[in-house]
């Protein structure tokens, strides 16, 4: 029977954990009772270097709840890395793994639907938000805009899908082969291949506590996604450069003609404007290229993406 692991990254989530643990325990217990999953199934909470008592809570639950186990990273490594750490640990024990947020924004009732889709032969099941009514106007517009930009730049990405998804063990084996440090999981996963399906769910509001993804982190994440999966911005810079060069040729001809016909070129304003415009474009272009070089620099170091400090309630038994 299917051993299912749920992977939940947690960063300062002590406010939501008690409720999350009890709800997920219920779900797992229910599915075991109805014979859908094996009783060795677990919820694996990954503590991503929280500053509050999240890890103490997880450790406590791993003793009192038969469904709970935990992984503690050596420090805060960010959501994507924490998720990866959990997935790689869960892969050792499970046939299928579902990742979800600690704040119960991902509707837990979709878990069963995902498992059904897995039993129907899918290796990857994407949780897709049916609506964003609960999100603020700003979050909705920026998030949807981001998906459109990604599509426009030619990145394969599932619309309105975040990191709520099921993956089979062989899909996770595939994921392990991608050893990039600039992690943007929702861009990598469609590249793994294998049969996949989608399950729609309604995204709720954060149950308690506040978002651990402020605007700054969101922008950095979007940038990460774009620069990790497409070199179109660099191409765009090249095209822009070629275009500017053509314009300068036309200008040259114009200047020569003006000189020959005796029209003295006057007006430094237009000159000033073009210097600023070109200077700006050049700096911007250098920035874009620098961004990619920075990525290459980080990738070549092959630094570990996470370090596990401690575990709680994880059996040595692997499949």
Binding residues (CB under 6 A) for ligand UDP: these are 9-11, 13, 48, 76, 78-79, 82, 101-103, 105, 211-213
Partner in contact with 142, chosen from ligand UDP, Mg ion, none, beta carbon below 5 to 8 Å by kind: none
Nearer to ligand UDP, 92 or 206 (CB): 206
Partner in contact with 48, chosen from Mg ion, ligand UDP, none, beta carbon below 5 to 8 Å by kind: ligand UDP
Nearer to ligand UDP, 73 or 237 (CB): 73
Nearer to ligand UDP, 9 or 70 (CB): 9
CA distance 2 to 259: 82
Partner in contact with 79, chosen from Mg ion, ligand UDP, none, beta carbon below 5 to 8 Å by kind: ligand UDP
Q: Is 12 in the site for Mg ion (CB under 5 A)?
A: no
User: Least CB distance from residue 99 to Mg ion, whole Å?
Assistant: 13
Partner in contact with 10, chosen from ligand UDP, Mg ion, none, beta carbon below 5 to 8 Å by kind: ligand UDP
Nearer to ligand UDP, 138 or 245 (CB): 138
In contact, 174 and 193? CB cutoff 8 Å: yes
In contact, 165 and 194? CB cutoff 8 Å: no
Size of the site for Mg ion (CB under 5 A): 3
Neighbours of 33 (CB within 10 A): 10
Alpha-carbon radius of gyration of the chain: 25
In sequence order, what are the residues at sequence separation of 6 or more whose Cβ sits closer than 8 angstroms to the Cβ of residue 146?
A: 222, 225
Q: Is 103 in the site for Mg ion (CB under 5 A)?
A: yes
CA distance 185 to 172: 12
CA distance 36 to 130: 25
Partner in contact with 9, chosen from Mg ion, ligand UDP, none, beta carbon below 5 to 8 Å by kind: ligand UDP
In contact, 22 and 6? CB cutoff 8 Å: no
CA distance 30 to 112: 10
User: Least CB distance from residue 233 to ligand UDP, whole Å?
Assistant: 24
Q: Is 99 in the site for Mg ion (CB under 5 A)?
A: no
> Among 4-12, 37-45, 101-109, 169-177, which window interacts with Mg ion (CB under 5 A)?
101-109
Tell me the three state secondary structure of residue 93: coil
In contact, 125 and 197? CB cutoff 8 Å: yes
User: Least CB distance from residue 25 to Mg ion, whole Å?
Assistant: 20
CA distance 313 to 67: 9
User: Least CB distance from residue 163 to ligand UDP, whole Å?
Assistant: 8
User: Least CB distance from residue 105 to Mg ion, whole Å?
Assistant: 4
In contact, 311 and 93? CB cutoff 8 Å: no
Tell me the three state secondary structure of residue 145: helix
User: Least CB distance from residue 175 to ligand UDP, whole Å?
Assistant: 18
Nearer to Mg ion, 12 or 105 (CB): 105
In contact, 132 and 204? CB cutoff 8 Å: no
- Would you tell me which residues interact with Mg ion (CB under 5 A)? 101, 103, 105
């Amino acid at each position: 029977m299917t051993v299912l692991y749920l992977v939940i990254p947690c960063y300062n989530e002590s406010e939501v954990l008690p409720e999350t643990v009890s709800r997920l325990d219920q779900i797992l217990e229910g599915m075991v009772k109805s014979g859908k999953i094996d009783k060795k199934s677990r919820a694996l909470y990954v503590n991503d270097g929280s500053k509050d008592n999240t890890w103490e809570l997880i450790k406590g639950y791993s003793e009192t709840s038969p469904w709970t186990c935990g992984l503690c990273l050596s420090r805060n490594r960010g959501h994507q890395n924490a998720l990866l750490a959990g997935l790689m640990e869960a892969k050792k024990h499970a046939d299928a793994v579902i990742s979800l947020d600690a704040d119960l924004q991902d509707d837990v009732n979709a878990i069963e639907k995902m498992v059904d889709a897995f039993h129907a032969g899918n290796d990857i099941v994407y949780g897709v938000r049916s609506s964003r009514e609960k999100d603020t106007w700003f979050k909705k517009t920026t998030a949807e805009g981001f998906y459109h930009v990604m599509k426009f730049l030619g990145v394969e990405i599932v619309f309105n899908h975040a990191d709520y998804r099921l993956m089979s063990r062989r899909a996770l084996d595939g994921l392990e082969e991608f050893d990039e440090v600039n992690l943007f999981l929702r861009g990598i996963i469609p590249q793994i291949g294998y049969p996949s399906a989608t399950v729609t769910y309604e995204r709720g509001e954060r149950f308690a506590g506040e978002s651990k993804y402020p605007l700054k982190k969101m922008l950095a994440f979007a940038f990460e996604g774009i620069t990790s999966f497409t070199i179109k911005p660099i191409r765009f810079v090249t095209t822009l450069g070629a275009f500017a060069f053509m314009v300068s040729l036309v200008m040259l001809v114009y200047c020569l003609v003006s000189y020959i016909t005796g029209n003295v070129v006057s007006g430094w304003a237009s000159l000033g404007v073009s210097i600023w415009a070109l200077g700006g474009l050049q700096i911007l272009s250098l920035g874009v290229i620098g961004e990619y070089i920075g990525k290459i620099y980080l990738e070549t170091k092959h630094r570990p993406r996470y370090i596990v400090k401690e575990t709680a309630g994880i059996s040595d038994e692997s499949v």
